[in-house]
């Protein structure tokens, strides 16, 4: 007997452990989504991955400088084609990088370059072996330029540089000043450029930014520091959501989605209830035949009617408007009719008879007696339609073609495909905004939901 | 037999109540079904009038390599995801049915993913399955495995989509759980007296008792798999190559990218027939295995 109790306790333990592991697995993607949505873009492209959003600071010249928003991209076209440049993350959008050159502000196609740390490592950006120097060239064609050179390239206050004269390349020695020795693995950072006039364009949205625009720029002020001088703090970037808000017409998408979902939910629930009443509470010849037909229509897959439906809506000039998404809801749906009918059948018929004696007509019985008694199932139908409408993707994709009519789902897909799979922090932020209302709705209606699912699943 | 006045009145009333459905049925079902059948024998691009071409669309389909690839991909996906999904959902439902404390909390965890809009879950999983920065591959690396670049690998893209599908199993879990809770306790007690162990009880009592639900989920799974569209559309664009071109995705491409509506309609009808055939087969098989409780 004692053994039995012990065995049961063990079983119980195993069940709990499995449930907890399962729950964690099912919940992890949500955490990943939420965490990513608060990260700076460079953190999303960092290996190994980290969960909590971080912000990096550099202790430099006794000042603490925020190091953020920098991303290394490889330019794919234009005069800088093939070059890797460090740009502000909001200068890299939709697979294009924007920077100033001779022709003014230009956009070129670019792709992000993966790198292991937030800052450029010297060994990656410049070919340096174990040791080297940061020098300032004081004569020759590269006068004034700061460079990082290998130890062996430096000799007696001079650096060997390759310079081009006409169509030939020469190696010559030029005088230079050593600013500081640098080591492999040091991090290249950009100095505080607050004072530099040429960096005015870097002060955007009220925030000063501390990085050069283009690495090859002549008068950049930068330095190298050991990695130990970088401090990292956990910091949730709410700013991502602000950027998202400015990038896409989120409010418009939300308005469209809500309009379709709310109108659709009310119309669908009411019309389905009306039809279900006709199929359940009135005895008439041919009723069962019509009901059987309505059940049979559930077998028809959407692709069969997809093309002609498109033609119909096109004929009525509804393509590009929200109408194809809500007009059909006024005409009930077979599945909802079925659900409601099942419930209506269980309401005692004596109630209707009593109402007839009291002088109610059929519509009054429906409206005053049956509907109030059917609140739970009406809620299920309404909730499910709302969810369906909120989540629907194929409908909006087929019928909507103007950005101002997009729903949230379509807006997210368009945003995702436009950003070329780079701005994952913003894509995740938008996903959070789409998922959040549904989760909140679920927590308020959990019981209805679960009952509804069980109802739709088992009573077939 | 003449109808009484009341009977006539009732027919009128009944028709009045179901009139929204009748209008909708004629406009959004009967007419489209007839037209779709007609278009499937036409060359039709929406912009011009349909032109009858007989069986050409169907014959072209027979020789369309991509059509067969898409059908094969879809069936492969269904063959992986339906059994796997059922097994995982059944195990989780069994665990949840074990009279655990805070069951509602666990159930919520398993159910929540089904609430996520398809586009959001697609982009989230693109990020999770990302070969370089994705959560999955970094986890695999952590335990010492090297994960493939899931969505860009022609052998791994469909299994990756199956794994993603497992995340959205909540609905099936809840349905199975409701079924499990209706299995009479007396049956378990009887089988325990007969000396059946836990595994035997599952196979001899639980599974037969919930077999109608399993059957229902298989049917819904078949219909659902054949209409998978959003995942390949958003996540892979049918690639790499044609490795994740599913049937409904190819149909959409034909209809709304090539504007070959006649061809797409023919594909839709074949899809309908495939669904009917598979459902009939499932129905035949179910007669042997599905156990319906009498009465109730």
Does position A29 have pLDDT exceeding 70, yes or no?
A: yes
Does position A134 have pLDDT exceeding 90, yes or no?
A: no
3-state secondary structure string across A383-416:
HHHHHHHHHCCHHHHHHCCCHHHCCHHHHHHHHH
Please name the residues between 111 and 150 in chain B that touch chain A, using a CB distance below 8 Å. 111-113, 115-120, 122-128, 132-133, 135, 138, 141-142
Mean pLDDT of B203-215: 85
Provide the 8-state DSSP code for A204: B
- Provide the pLDDT for residue A71: 61
pLDDT tens for residues B186-197? 888 888 888 777
Q: Inform me whether the C-beta atom of residue B221 falls under 8 Å from chain A C-beta atoms.
A: no
- Rounded CA-CA distance A78/A46 in Å is 27
Q: Which of A267, A288, A457 best probes binding to B when mutated, by most B CB atoms within 10 angstroms?
A: A457
Mean pLDDT is lowest, of A50-59, A404-413, B20-29, B100-109, for A50-59
- Provide the pLDDT for residue A194: 31
Beta bridge partners of A64: A59
From B13, B23, B141, residue closest to A362, measured CB to CB? B13
Q: Per the structure block, which two tokens stand in for B178?
A: 């409701």
Regarding pTM above 0.90, the answer is: no
Note if the bond before B201 is cis, omega within 30 degrees. Answer: no
Spatial CB neighbours of A404, under 8 Å, sequence gap ≥ 6: A249, A252
Mean pLDDT of A200-228: 43
- Provide the pLDDT for residue A30: 92
Backbone Cα Rg of chain B: 24
Please name the residues between 87 and 116 in chain A that touch chain B, using a CB distance below 8 Å. 114
Does position A332 have pLDDT exceeding 60, yes or no?
A: yes
A·B CB contacts under 8 A: 271
Mean pLDDT of chain A: 78
A319: which chain B residues are within 8 Å (Cβ-Cβ)?
none
What separation in angstroms does the CA of B136 have from each of A32, B124, B141, B149? 11, 12, 9, 10
Give the DSSP letter string of chain B.
Answer: -PPPHHHHHHHHHHHHHHHHHHHHHIIIIIHHHHHHHHHTTEE--SSS--EE-TTHHHHHHHT-HHHHHHHHHHHHHHHHHHHHHHHHHHHHHHHHTTT-TTHHHHHHHHHGGGGS-HHHHHHHHHHHS-TTT-HHHHHHHHTT-----GGG-TTTHHHHHHHHHHHT-HHHHHHHHHHHHTS-HHHHHHHHHTT--HHHHIIIIIHHHHHHHHHHHHHHHHHHHHT--HHIIIIITT-STTTT--HHHHHHIIIIIS--HHHHHHHHHHHHHHHHHHHHHHHHHHHHH--PPS--
Of residues A20, A70, A28, the one with CA closest to residue A51: A28
- Provide the pLDDT for residue A87: 64
Provide the 8-state DSSP code for A214: -
Q: How many CA atoms lie within 13 A of B184 on its CB side?
A: 6
Does position B295 have pLDDT exceeding 50, yes or no?
A: no
Quick check: A294 and B271 CB within 8 A? no
Spatial CB neighbours of A13, under 8 Å, sequence gap ≥ 6: none
Specify the higher pLDDT residue, A6 or A67: A6
Does position A200 have pLDDT exceeding 70, yes or no?
A: no
- Provide the pLDDT for residue A76: 82
- Provide the pLDDT for residue A124: 30
Specify the higher pLDDT residue, B263 or A142: B263
Does position B213 have pLDDT exceeding 50, yes or no?
A: yes
Give one word for A228, left, alpha or beta, with left for phi > 0 and alpha for psi -120 to 50: alpha
Q: Which of B31, B71, B119, B290 best probes binding to A when mutated, by most A CB atoms within 10 angstroms?
A: B119
Please name the residues between 349 and 368 in chain A that touch chain B, using a CB distance below 8 Å. 362, 366
- Rounded CA-CA distance B167/A300 in Å is 27
Q: Inform me whether the C-beta atom of residue A33 falls under 8 Å from chain B C-beta atoms.
A: yes
Mean pLDDT of A138-155: 78
Q: Inform me whether the C-beta atom of residue B32 falls under 8 Å from chain A C-beta atoms.
A: yes
Q: B209 vs chain A: nearest CA distance in angstroms?
A: 12
Specify the higher pLDDT residue, A218 or B203: B203
pLDDT tens for residues A409-440? 999 998 888 876 668 888 899 999 999 999 99
Q: Inform me whether the C-beta atom of residue B23 falls under 8 Å from chain A C-beta atoms.
A: yes
A16: which chain B residues are within 8 Å (Cβ-Cβ)?
100
- Provide the pLDDT for residue B52: 85
Quick check: A328 and B24 CB within 8 A? yes
B269: which chain A residues are within 8 Å (Cβ-Cβ)?
304
- Provide the pLDDT for residue B72: 93
Beta bridge partners of A93: A96
Does position A129 have pLDDT exceeding 60, yes or no?
A: no
B211: which chain A residues are within 8 Å (Cβ-Cβ)?
none
B113: which chain A residues are within 8 Å (Cβ-Cβ)?
26, 29-30
- Provide the pLDDT for residue A217: 35
pLDDT tens for residues B112-128? 999 899 999 999 999 89
- Rounded CA-CA distance B263/B252 in Å is 11
What does DSSP say about strands A70-75 and A230-234: parallel, antiparallel, or unpaired?
unpaired
- Provide the pLDDT for residue B293: 62
- Provide the pLDDT for residue A118: 32
Quick check: B116 and A435 CB within 8 A? yes
Closest-CA residue of chain B to A431: B120
Q: Inform me whether the C-beta atom of residue A410 falls under 8 Å from chain B C-beta atoms.
A: yes
Mean pLDDT of chain B: 87
- Provide the pLDDT for residue A111: 78
- Provide the pLDDT for residue A58: 62
- Helix B31-39 crosses helix A302-315 at what angle (to 10 degrees)? 100
- Provide the pLDDT for residue A126: 37
- Rounded CA-CA distance A21/A335 in Å is 36
Specify the higher pLDDT residue, A309 or A105: A309
Share of chain A above pLDDT 90, in %: 25
Specify the higher pLDDT residue, A97 or A228: A97
- Provide the pLDDT for residue A270: 95
Backbone Cα Rg of chain A: 33
Note if the bond before A48 is cis, omega within 30 degrees. Answer: yes
Of residues A437, A423, A429, the one with CA closest to residue A391: A437
Q: B6-20: b or e for each residue (b if 16 or more CB lie within 10 Å)?
A: eeeebbebbbebbbb
Specify the higher pLDDT residue, B263 or A1: B263
Q: B284 vs chain A: nearest CA distance in angstroms?
A: 17
Does position A190 have pLDDT exceeding 60, yes or no?
A: no
Beta bridge partners of B250: none
Closest-CA residue of chain A to B120: A431
Mean pLDDT is lowest, of A45-59, A61-75, A265-279, A386-400, for A61-75
- Helix A424-444 crosses helix A446-458 at what angle (to 10 degrees)? 90
Mean pLDDT of A251-276: 94
pLDDT tens for residues A370-423? 999 988 889 989 998 999 999 999 999 999 988 889 999 999 998 888 876 668
Q: Inform me whether the C-beta atom of residue A438 falls under 8 Å from chain B C-beta atoms.
A: yes
Specify the higher pLDDT residue, A84 or A114: A84
Q: Inform me whether the C-beta atom of residue B280 falls under 8 Å from chain A C-beta atoms.
A: no
Q: Inform me whether the C-beta atom of residue B62 falls under 8 Å from chain A C-beta atoms.
A: no
Of residues A407, A221, A439, the one with CA closest to residue A321: A407
Does position A206 have pLDDT exceeding 50, yes or no?
A: no
Spatial CB neighbours of B178, under 8 Å, sequence gap ≥ 6: A453, A454, A457, A458
DSSP alpha helix (H) spans, A45-104 = none
Specify the higher pLDDT residue, A200 or B4: B4
Closest-CA residue of chain A to B262: A307
Closest-CA residue of chain B to A416: B123
Q: What is the ipTM of this complex?
A: 0.89
- Rounded CA-CA distance A271/A290 in Å is 16
Quick check: B29 and A305 CB within 8 A? yes
A18: which chain B residues are within 8 Å (Cβ-Cβ)?
95
Spatial CB neighbours of B224, under 8 Å, sequence gap ≥ 6: none
| Long-range Cβ contacts of B129-138 (<8 Å, 24+ apart) | B129/B160, B129/B164, B132/A47, B132/A114, B133/A44, B133/A45, B133/A46, B133/A47, B133/A49, B133/A114, B133/A424, B135/A28, B135/A29, B135/A32, B135/A49, B138/A47, B138/A48, B138/A49
- Rounded CA-CA distance A42/A70 in Å is 7
Provide the 8-state DSSP code for A197: G
- Provide the pLDDT for residue B179: 86
Mean pLDDT is lowest, of A211-220, A339-348, A355-364, B57-66, for A211-220
Give one word for A94, left, alpha or beta, with left for phi > 0 and alpha for psi -120 to 50: left
Does position B103 have pLDDT exceeding 50, yes or no?
A: yes
- Provide the pLDDT for residue B270: 94
From B3, B46, B120, residue closest to A311, measured CB to CB? B46
- Rounded CA-CA distance A9/A378 in Å is 43
Spatial CB neighbours of A132, under 8 Å, sequence gap ≥ 6: A122, A126, A148, A149, A150, A151, A153, A181, A182, A183
């Amino acid at each position: 007997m004692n053994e039995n109790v012990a065995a049961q306790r063990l079983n119980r333990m195993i069940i709990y452990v499995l449930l907890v592991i399962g729950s964690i697995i099912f919940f992890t993607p949500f955490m990943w989504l939420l965490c990513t949505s608060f990260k700076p873009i460079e953190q999303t492209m960092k290996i190994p991955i980290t969960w909590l959003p971080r912000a990096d600071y550099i202790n430099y010249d006794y000042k603490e400088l925020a190091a953020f928003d920098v991303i290394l991209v490889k330019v794919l076209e234009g005069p800088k084609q093939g070059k890797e440049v460090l740009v502000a993350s909001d200068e890299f959008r939709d697979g294009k990088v924007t920077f100033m050159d001779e022709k003014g502000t230009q956009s070129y196609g670019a792709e992000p370059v993966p790198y292991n740390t937030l800052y450029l490592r010297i060994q990656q950006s410049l070919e340096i072996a174990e040791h080297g120097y940061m020098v300032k060239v004081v004569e020759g064609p590269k006068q004034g330029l700061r460079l990082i050179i290998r130890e062996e390239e430096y000799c007696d206050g001079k650096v060997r540089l390759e310079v081009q004269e006409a169509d030939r390349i020469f190696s010559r020695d030029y005088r230079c000043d050593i600013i500081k020795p640098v080591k492999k693995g040091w991090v290249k950072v950009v100095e505080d450029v607050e004072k530099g006039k040429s960096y005015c364009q870097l002060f955007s949205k009220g925030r000063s930014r501390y990085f050069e625009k283009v690495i090859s720029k002549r008068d950049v002020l930068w330095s190298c520091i050991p990695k130990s001088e970088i401090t990292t703090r956990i910091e949730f970037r709410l700013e991502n959501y602000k950027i998202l808000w400015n990038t896409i017409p989120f409010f418009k998408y939300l308005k469209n989605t809500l309009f379709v979902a709310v109108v659709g939910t009310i119309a669908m629930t009411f019309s389905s209830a009306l039809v279900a009443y006709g199929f359940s509470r009135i005895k008439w010849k041919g009723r069962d035949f019509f009901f059987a037909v309505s059940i049979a229509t559930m077998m028809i897959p959407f692709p069969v009617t997809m093309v002609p439906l498109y033609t119909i809506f096109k004929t009525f000039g509804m393509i590009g408007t929200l109408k194809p998404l809500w007009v059909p809801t006024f005409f009930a749906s077979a599945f909802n009719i079925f659900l409601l009918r099942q419930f209506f059948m269980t309401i005692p018929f004596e109630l209707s008879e009593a109402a007839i004696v009291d002088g109610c007509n059929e519509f009054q019985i429906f409206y005053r007696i049956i509907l109030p008694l059917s609140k739970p199932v009406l809620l299920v139908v309404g909730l499910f339609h709302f969810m369906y409408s909120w989540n629907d993707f194929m409908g909006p994709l087929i019928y909507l073609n103007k950005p101002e009519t997009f729903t949230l789902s379509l807006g997210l897909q368009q945003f995702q495909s436009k950003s070329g799979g780079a701005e994952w922090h913003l894509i995740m932020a938008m996903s959070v905004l789409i998922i959040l209302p549904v989760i909140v709705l679920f927590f308020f209606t959990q019981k209805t939901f679960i009952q509804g699912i069980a109802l739709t699943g088992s009573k077939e | 037999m003449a109808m009484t006045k009341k009977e006539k009145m009732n027919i009128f009333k009944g028709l009045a109540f179901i009139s929204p459905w009748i209008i909708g049925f004629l406009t959004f079902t009967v007419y489209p079904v007839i037209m779709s059948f007609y278009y499937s024998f036409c060359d039709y691009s929406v912009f011009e009038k349909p032109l009858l071409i007989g069986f050409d669309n169907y014959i072209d389909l027979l020789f369309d390599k991509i059509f067969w690839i898409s059908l094969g991909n879809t069936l492969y996906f269904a063959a992986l995801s339906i059994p796997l999904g059922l097994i995982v959902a059944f195990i989780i439902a069994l665990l949840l049915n074990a009279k655990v404390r805070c069951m509602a909390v666990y159930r919520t965890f398993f159910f929540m993913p089904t609430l996520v809009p398809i586009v959001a879950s697609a982009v989230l999983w693109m990020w999770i399955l990302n070969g370089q920065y994705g959560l999955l591959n970094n986890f695999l690396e952590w335990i010492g495995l090297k994960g493939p670049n899931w969505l860009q690998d022609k052998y791994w893209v469909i299994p990756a989509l199956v794994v993603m599908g497992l995340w959205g199993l909540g609905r099936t879990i809840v349905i199975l759980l409701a079924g499990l809770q209706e299995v009479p306790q007396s049956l378990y007690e009887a089988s325990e007296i007969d000396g059946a162990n836990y595994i035997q009880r599952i196979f001899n009592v639980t599974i037969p008792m919930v077999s109608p639900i399993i059957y229902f989920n298989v049917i819904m799974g078949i219909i659902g798999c054949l209409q998978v569209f959003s995942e390949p559309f958003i996540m892979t664009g049918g690639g790499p190559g044609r490795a994740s071109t599913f049937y409904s995705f190819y149909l959409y491409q034909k209809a709304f990218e090539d504007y070959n509506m006649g061809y797409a309609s023919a594909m839709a009808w074949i899809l309908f027939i495939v669904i009917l055939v598979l459902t009939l087969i499932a129905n035949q098989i179910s007669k042997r295995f599905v156990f319906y409780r009498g009465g109730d």
